[in-house]
Amino acid sequence: MGLPYFKIVGGNRLKGSVRVSGAKNAALPIMAASLLCEGEVVLHDLPQVADVKSLAELLTKLGLQVERRPDGALSLTVRDEMNCKAEYDIVRKMRASICVLGPLLAKRGRAEVSMPGGCAIGDRPVDLHIRAMKKLGADVELVSGDLVARAKRLRGAEMFLGGAFGSTVLGTANAMMAAVFAEGVTVIEMAACEPEVVDLANFLNACGASITGQGTPRIVIEGVRELKGCEYRIIPDRIEAGTFMVAAAITNSELKLDNCRLDHLMAFIDRLAAIGVQVERAENGAVVSSARRLEPAEVTTQPFPGFPTDLQAQTMALLCLADGNSIITEKIFPDRFLHVAELNRMGARLRKEGPTVIVEGVKRLIGAPVMASDLRASAALVLAGLAARGLTVVNRVYHLDRGYERLEEKLRSLGADIERCEGGEEE
C-alpha cells in the first residue's frame, strides 16, 4: 500500500487564521498521570496525533478505560491495576512511554518499562529518571532490556536532576508523579521549567496533589494520600504555534494564530524579531508578519526559557533564505541535524561542524523529493517546500503525524498547495 507522503507546490502566499491544537508534550505526561487518579479524568484539547493514540493504547493495556467523548475530550478511568508493564513494542515506537514509570511505581508499587533505545535525534539516556526513582527509595534494575522498579512505599527526598545537557523534561515529570504519594516532602533541584512540566503540576494539583515551584528550577512536592480525577484543559502547543510562525515568515505572509501563548515562546520570538519577523499579541493569540528581506541570526537551543530544540529545524529552514550567514548551535540534542542533508537537496547551503550548523543564506530553495526523519525535521522540510520553487515531495510523513494534528489540512486552509498522498516508498 505504501506510506503517506506530501506533495507541495511552493510559492503560495498564506492568509487567514489557524487554531493551534493542545500541546502533545503536555498531553502525554498528563495522560500518564491519570494512572494515579481515582475516578474519571477528562482531558480537553488533546491533540489528535499518533503519539496520543499510541499512549492511549498503552494505558488501555495498563488497565484504563479510555474513550473519546462526542465533544472531542478524552476520558480516562482506571479499571484494573494488575498490569505494571509497558512492553517494548510500544516503547520502541514512542520514547515518551517512559512517562508511565513514575505513576506506575507510585500507585502500584511496581513498574516495568522496556528501556527506550536511541532515536533519530540521537542517544536518549534515562539515567536521570532512574536516579529520581532511586532517590525516592525504589529498587531499580535492568532485566533483559526492561527497567524494573519496585517500592512498597516511596519516601520524600531531595534530588538534583541535572545532567550533562541540563534539566530533563520527562525526567522531571516522572519524579513529580512518583513523589505525589511519597511520605513527606520531595525537593527537585534543577527541575525542568518547560510549560509542559508546569501544566502537569497544575493538573496534579487540580487532582489534589500539593506541588509548588513549578516553572522554576526548584519544585517541592508534599506527599498526599490520594488523587481524584478531574476535568482539565491542556495548554496550547507552543511548537505547533512556532511552526506556523515560520510558515508565515518563510512565505512572506501574514497569519493570525488562535489559541497561542506568547509567554511560552519568548526566546523564539526574540530570534524571529532579529530575523525580521514581527509577532504581535492579538486576542487569545498572535498575528505574525514578515519583512521581505530576512536577516541572518545566531540561534542556540537551550532548556526553557531558552530557545527550544523542537523549533531548531524549522528555524533552520527559514534561515536558509536569509540574506547572509547564520549560525545554529544545538545544546540539547547535539546530533539533531538529520534535516541538514535533506535541506541541502533543496538548494540550501548548510555545513555541519559538530553541534553547530553554518547556514549560508541562498536566494531561493528548489523543490525536490526529500525524506522526513524525525518529527520536527519533517516539519522543517514541509516549511521549506512551502517556500521552494516547484514541487517538493516529502516522504515518510508518518513522522510528522506523530505530533502535528492535520498539518496539511491547516496549511491548505491558509492557501498552501499541499496534498497528502498514499503509496509512497516503503522503508
Nearest residue (CB) to ligand EPU, 23 versus 288:
23
User: Does a cis peptide bond (omega within 30 degrees of 0) precede residue 195?
Assistant: no
Q: How far is the CB of 98 from ligand EPU (least distance, A)?
A: 7
Map grid coordinates 547572509 to a residue: 324
Is residue 168 close enough to count as binding ligand EPU by CB under 6 A?
A: yes
Give the separation between CA 182 and CA 35, rounded to whole angstroms: 16
Q: Which of residues 48-77 bind ligand EPU (CB under 6 A)?
A: none
- Kindly tell me which residue out of 126, 221, 294, 340 binds ligand EPU, with binding defined by CB under 6 A: 126
The C-alpha atoms of residue 295 and residue 275 are separated, in whole angstroms, by 4
Overall size of the chain counted in residues? 427
Cell reading at 72: 472531542
DSSP assignment letter at 183:
B
Of residues 308-347, which lie at the interface with ligand EPU (CB under 6 A)?
309-310, 332-333
Q: Is 313 helix (H, G, I), strand (E, B) or coil?
A: helix
**Measured distance CA(288)–CA(399) in Å, rounded:** 26
C-alpha 117/C-alpha 105 separation (Å) is 21
Let me know: does 36 contact 275? Beta carbons within 8 Å.
no
Enumerate the β-bridge partners of residue 389. 366
Q: Give min distance, CB of 423 to ligand EPU, in A.
A: 26
Type and span of the H or E element at 77: strand 74-78
- Amino acid at residue number 100: V
Residues 281-310 that bind ligand EPU (CB under 6 A): 309-310
Helices and strands: H and E segment counts in the chain = 14, 26
Residue pair 195/172 in contact by the 8 Å Cβ criterion: no
Nearest approach in angstroms of CB 321 to ligand EPU is 23
Can residue 271 be called a binding residue for ligand EPU (CB under 6 A)? no
The three three-digit cell numbers of residue 162, written as one number: 541535572
Q: Give min distance, CB of 302 to ligand EPU, in A.
A: 10
Q: Please report whether residue 142 would count as binding ligand EPU according to CB under 6 A.
A: no
Say whether residue 165 binds ligand EPU (CB under 6 A): yes
Piece of 118-126, 147-155, 219-227, 268-276 that binds ligand EPU (CB under 6 A): 118-126
Pairing of strands 37-38, 356-360: unpaired
CB nearer to ligand EPU: pick between 196 and 408: 196
Q: Would you say 168 or 315 has its CB closer to ligand EPU?
A: 168
Size of the residue set binding ligand EPU (CB under 6 A): 25
Q: Does 118 bind ligand EPU (CB under 6 A)?
A: no
171 binds ligand EPU (CB under 6 A): yes
Least distance (Å) between residue 163 CB and ligand EPU: 4
| Start-end of H helices in 235-338 | 238-250, 266-275, 312-319
User: At closest approach, how far in Å is the CB of 240 from ligand EPU?
Assistant: 10
Residue type, position 415, single letter? G
Name which of 281, 313, 278, 280 is nearest 299 in CA terms: 313
CB of 35 to ligand EPU, least distance (A): 16
Whether 84 is catalytic is no
Judged by CB under 6 A, does residue 128 bind ligand EPU? yes
Question: CB burial class (10 A; 0-12, 13-18, 19+) of residue 216?
Answer: exposed
State which of positions 20-49 bind ligand EPU (CB under 6 A).
25, 28
Catalytic residue among 84, 119, 193, 207: 119
Report in angstroms how near the CB of residue 164 gets to ligand EPU at its nearest. Answer: 6
Cβ nearer to ligand EPU, comparing 115 with 287: 115
Annotate each residue in 360-389 with x if it binds ligand EPU (CB under 6 A) or - if it does not, as one string. Answer: ---------------xx-------------
Contact 113, 147 (CB under 8 A): yes
Out of 18, 101, 140, 169, the only residue in the binding site for ligand EPU (CB under 6 A) is: 169
CA distance 37 to 179: 14
Please list the active-site residues: 119
Q: Which residues bind ligand EPU (CB under 6 A)?
A: 25, 28, 96, 124-129, 163-165, 168-171, 192, 196, 309-310, 332-333, 375-376, 403
